[in-house]
Structure 1
C-alpha cells in the first residue's frame, strides 16, 4: 500500500493555553484534548483530522524535557489562501517571517513563527 511519508506531527510548546489560542485563531480550527494513554503521558491537543483523509494530522504537545523553538523540521498547514492565515499571525502573537509567495505549479506558501518560537509553513493553491 502506498501512503504519504508523513503520518503524524507534534509541535512542542512551553505554554499550552497560549499555543492553543494562537493555532485556533490563525487556522480557524478547534483543537481537542487527546486521551492520556499512561500516567506520565504528556499534555496533547490534537488538530482536527479524519482517518481516511489525505495528509497528516498532529498535535500540540507539552512534554517535560522537550523544548519548543526553531529547528530542522517545518510543518506546513493546508489553507484556502495562505495570505489570509498569515494575516492572522501577528494579531495572535506570532511573527510572519515571509509573506505569501509562489512556488511554481505547487501553489503558494507563507512562513511564520508561532508564540512558542516554532517556525510553521502555510500552503495554498491560490
Structure 2
C-alpha cells in the first residue's frame, strides 16, 4: 500500500514573495504549472517532484477566495537536518515557531511560519 497523501497545496497572497521564501528555505527551484481552462485565474508553482516515486508532490497556489494561514493541516518537508532549513526560513523572512526537537525514534522536527502565515513542518532523521 502507498502512503495516502499524494498532493498538497499551500495558499498564498504574494506569489513572488512566497516562491522566494520556499526556494531559499529548501534550496530548490519551483516550477510553474499550467492551469487548465477550468481553473482560470489560479497560479500554481510546484515543488520538485518525481511522478514515478512515493511521497507527495505539491504546489504554492494563488486563488481568489482562498486565504493563507494556520489551519487544521500541516505539511512537513523532508530535510537532511531540519535545523538548517529552519534557520534558512528565518533568514528568508519567516519566523521560528518551534526549534528542532526530537520526536524519539522518528527523528526530529522544527516548525516555522512561512512569509504568508502558513505553519509548516521540517522533518529530518538527524
Distance 1:63 1:41 in 2: 7
Partner in structure 1 of residue 101 of structure 2 = 101
Residue 7 (structure 1) aligns with = 6
Residue 19 of structure 1 aligns to a residue in which SS? helix
TM-fit CA distance, 1:89? 1.1
Structure 2 distance, partners of 1:57, 1:82, is 19
CA distance in 2, matches of 1:58, 1:12: 11
Moved more, 76-85 or 45-54: 45-54
Aligned twin of 1:115:
115
Distance in 1 (CA, whole Å) between partners of 2:35 and 2:54 is: 26
For residue 106 of structure 1, report the CA deviation from its aligned partner: 0.5
Superposed displacement of residue 54, structure 1: 2.2
1:41 CA drift (Å): 4.7
Partner of 1:60: 60
Q: Does 1:24 align with 2:26?
A: no
Runs of 4 or more, structure 1, over 4 Å off, are none
Query: Is the partner of 1:66 in helix, strand or coil?
Result: coil
Gaps of 5+ in 2: none
Structure 1: where are the runs of 5+ without partners? none
Count of residue correspondences = 125
Matched, 1:74 2:74: yes
